[in-house]
């Protein structure tokens, strides 16, 4: 296989052409690619200070928090700062009507008061290593996608096995540039993480969904956890004998403040971008994926919200679910709006025309890249209909109607009951009893009942009948097409819709009862339809994967300046820029910071999204800001930079030129929701909660002096 020019050789020639604020960069390459630009903007550190394998560096203080956020270590006792919305699910799980930490907040005044956070982990990246040559040595141009994938998996397994041998690490090989480059990434994962503190939602989620993705913002979006290890500092399951973890590096916290033009960088784990997506891929995202998400979630969320407003219990049960659902519902609305406004499809089409002309300009490039664009077009068109149905199926029945997904936990039990193996049956039942406690704690059957009826009707109306799950035949035959009556019977009789009925079934599980249950039948029908739709897309998806790899490789050869950094894929990246304001539209300029005064101006005691706690109002009225006030006298809350981030960067440390924490990244701005696909340099902003506001809340609002004493504070 002719080796494609490596990322390093290409971008080192063109780095000077890119704006400082665009790009999610590999840490091992920043010395050659980014340091001059960062130094010019105000960085005082060396590349070794940021990323080192052999010595303590900034990357040692940055973690994957849980499964989809970033966090940072801020003390020598493993204290973690992350966003409130990143800890929200855990805070909700630990809450009850008697101890509502979402409403009231929580502050551990000692290690003994810190609460285990089941399911949350802290993962440290140890190092990254380019292994592209090892992969390229075993793949050839004439391999099928299946053969290529199998060879890559074989080599990956050997690389990973060698990397973690004799260690407590885990590792994976990740592909970049659509499979044109590969890096080994080695991690150490700690599973004993404990909840230390969080402000009430009136601070940590101030503005809720109304302000989500918006600027100006006045949200104290932070929460505090701690990572624990065994006596030797190694990862260990929860034990009261575990000790706070001593990290290789922790971030000092600056309360010196920020000003326009100050250098700012983020280290974190951006989840997914598609900056090199073709016009056909963008059309699919807008008209299929985003469309389904916007329409279906909008209906579901209206039902959830109405029930949440009528019951404090349901509000607690659905708080985290609603937040997760609405976050990318609103993002999808903004993305479609932004892509249309910026005319991104037209711009992509012009690039594709340029690529097509270049690819067919020589016999060599034509042989390799001449069919790539046509293949992509054919692939996207070939899966459009099944993709549309699948997007609706996922949103309606796998992410919409909760009970169908829950019922699928019983599939293994069905198989065990069919085999009659009592030991296997008992083991599965034991596991299901654990799962059901978590499910029913946060489940409202009356709410899901309403959602099911709405989802059944919506899917029936919008999707071609050839893509219907089997239960639509039952609805037509036995219920005369009445979705309400079908839902009524399900929620009245199913073993899954009532916790007592479900536990009674688990105490004496019978195959006949399970197989006749309408919810279980429905769950299996949804799963079968999902798998069938995926099979319909299989060949088209393989074609898209292959031709996208060729397209990105061809772009590297045709115009290296257009493809300088890989799309995000939840590996650690660095982005950099400066603190600054922006102009969202004609005659409007948004300042780069917000203050506590703005919180008071937004207060609405009749709207839960904008309630302000009495203690916070008292601190504001007396101007009791302690040492955290800005030198101009106001209490800062949030600020904006032009750093390049996306989902997964939530909780990422925002670091100044001296390597000190100045804030936590928690959002992007509404005007640039197209950023995952098309970076908009004049509008793209990272919204950050100011470290001074974080410490002000911990100290003056919560009185958690024990946590303040633990930090390294730079004044």
> What three-state secondary structure class fits 200?
coil
The answer to whether 58 and 26 are in contact (CB under 8 A) is no
Catalytic residue among 52, 57, 84, 85: 85
- CA distances, 598 to each of 148, 188, 303, 591, 618 (Å): 56, 42, 31, 12, 15
674: number of Cβ within 10 Å: 23
Q: Which two tokens stand for residue 687?
A: 């919204």
Please indicate whether residue 650 is annotated as part of the active site. yes
Per DSSP, the residues of 113-133 read G-EE-TT--EEEEEEEEE-HH
Please indicate whether residue 221 is annotated as part of the active site. yes
For residue 570, the 8-state DSSP code is: S
Q: Which helix (H) or strand (E) holds 641?
A: strand 636-641
C-alpha 42 chain-centroid distance: 30
Q: Hey, what long-range contacts does 31-40 have (CB within 8 A, 24 or more apart)?
A: 32/8, 33/8, 34/574, 34/576, 37/576, 38/263, 38/265, 38/576
Catalytic residue among 192, 211, 221, 567: 221
> What three-state secondary structure class fits 600?
helix
Sequence-distant (6+) residues with CB within 8 A of 345 are 279, 282, 283, 339
Catalytic residue among 650, 652, 674, 691: 650
Give the C-alpha separation, 578 to 105, whole Å. Answer: 33
C-alpha 188 chain-centroid distance: 20
Please indicate whether residue 55 is annotated as part of the active site. no
Sign of CA dihedral 356, 360, 364, 367: positive
Tell me which residue of 689, 693, 696 sits closest to 211, measured CA to CA.
689
The answer to whether 680 and 49 are in contact (CB under 8 A) is no
Q: Which residues are catalytic?
A: 85, 221, 650
């Amino acid at each position: 296989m002719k080796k494609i020019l490596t990322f390093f050789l290409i971008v080192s020639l063109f780095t000077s052409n890119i704006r400082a604020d665009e790009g999610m960069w590999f840490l091992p390459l920043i010395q050659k690619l980014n340091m001059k630009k960062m130094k010019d903007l105000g960085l005082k550190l060396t590349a070794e200070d940021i990323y080192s394998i052999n010595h303590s560096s900034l990357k040692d203080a940055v973690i994957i928090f849980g499964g989809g956020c970033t966090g940072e270590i801020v003390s020598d006792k493993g204290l973690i700062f992350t966003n409130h919305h990143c800890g929200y699910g855990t805070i909700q799980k630990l809450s009850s009507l008697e101890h509502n930490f979402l409403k009231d907040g929580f502050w551990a005044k000692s290690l003994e008061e810190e609460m285990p956070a089941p399911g949350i982990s802290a993962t440290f990246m140890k190092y990254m290593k380019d292994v592209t040559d090892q992969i390229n040595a075993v793949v050839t141009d004439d391999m099928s996608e299946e053969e290529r994938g199998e060879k890559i998996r074989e080599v990956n397994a050997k690389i990973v096995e060698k990397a973690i041998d004799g260690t407590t690490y885990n590792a994976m090989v990740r592909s970049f540039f659509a499979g044109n480059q590969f890096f080994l990434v080695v991690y150490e994962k700690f599973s004993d993480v404990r909840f230390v503190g969080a402000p009430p939602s009136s601070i940590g989620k101030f503005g809720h969904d109304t302000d989500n993705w918006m600027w100006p913002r006045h949200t104290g979006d932070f929460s505090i956890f701690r990572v624990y290890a065994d006596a030797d500092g190694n990862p260990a399951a929860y034990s009261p004998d575990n000790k706070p973890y001593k990290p290789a590096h922790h971030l000092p916290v600056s309360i010196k403040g920020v000003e326009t033009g100050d250098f700012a960088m983020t280290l974190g784990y951006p989840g997914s971008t598609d900056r090199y997506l073709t016009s056909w891929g963008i059309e699919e995202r807008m008209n299929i994926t985003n469309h389904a998400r916007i329409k279906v979630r909008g209906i579901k969320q209206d039902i959830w919200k109405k029930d949440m407003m009528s019951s404090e219990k349901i509000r607690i049960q659905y708080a985290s679910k609603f937040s997760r659902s609405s976050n990318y519902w609103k993002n999808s609305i903004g993305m479609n709006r932004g892509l249309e406004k910026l005319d991104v499809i037209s711009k992509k089409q012009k690039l594709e025309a340029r690529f097509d002309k270049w690819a067919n300009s020589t016999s060599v490039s034509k042989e390799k890249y001449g069919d790539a664009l046509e293949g992509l077009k054919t692939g996207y068109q070939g899966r459009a209909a099944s993709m549309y149905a699948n997007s609706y199926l996922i949103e309606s029945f796998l992410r919409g109607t909760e009970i169908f997904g829950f019922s699928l936990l019983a599939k293994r039990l069905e198989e065990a009951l069919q085999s009659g193996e009592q030991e296997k049956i008992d083991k599965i039942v034991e596991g299901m009893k654990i799962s059901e406690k978590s499910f029913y704690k946060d489940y409202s059957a009356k709410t899901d009942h309403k959602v099911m009826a709405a989802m059944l009707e919506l899917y029936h109306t919008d999707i071609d009948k050839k893509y219907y799950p089997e239960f639509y035949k039952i609805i037509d035959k036995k219920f005369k097409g009445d979705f309400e009556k079908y839902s009524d019977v399900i929620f009245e009789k199913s073993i899954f819709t009532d916790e007592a009925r479900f536990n009674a079934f688990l105490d004496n599980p019978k195959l006949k009862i399970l197989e006749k249950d309408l919810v279980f039948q429905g769950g299996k029908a949804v799963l079968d339809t999902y798998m069938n739709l995926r099979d319909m897309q299989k060949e088209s998806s393989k074609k898209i994967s292959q031709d996208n790899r060729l397209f990105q490789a061809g772009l590297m050869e045709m115009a290296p300046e257009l493809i300088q950094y890989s799309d995000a894929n939840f590996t650690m990246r660095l982005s950099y820029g400066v603190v600054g304001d922006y102009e969202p539209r004609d005659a409007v300029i948004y300042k780069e910071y917000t203050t506590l005064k703005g919180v008071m101006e937004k207060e609405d005691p009749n709207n839960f999204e904008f309630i302000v706690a009495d203690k916070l109002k008292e601190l504001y009225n007396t101007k009791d800001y302690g040492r955290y006030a800005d030198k101009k006298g106001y209490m800062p809350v949030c600020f904006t930079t032009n750093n390049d981030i996306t989902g997964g960067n939530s909780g990422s440390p925002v670091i100044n030129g001296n390597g000190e924490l100045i804030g936590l990244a928690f959002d992007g701005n509404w005007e640039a929701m197209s950023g995952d696909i098309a970076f908009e340099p004049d509008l793209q902003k990272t919204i950050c909660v100011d470290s001074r506001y974080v410490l002000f809340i911990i100290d003056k609002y919560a009185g958690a002096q024990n946590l303040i004493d633990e930090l390294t504070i730079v004044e």
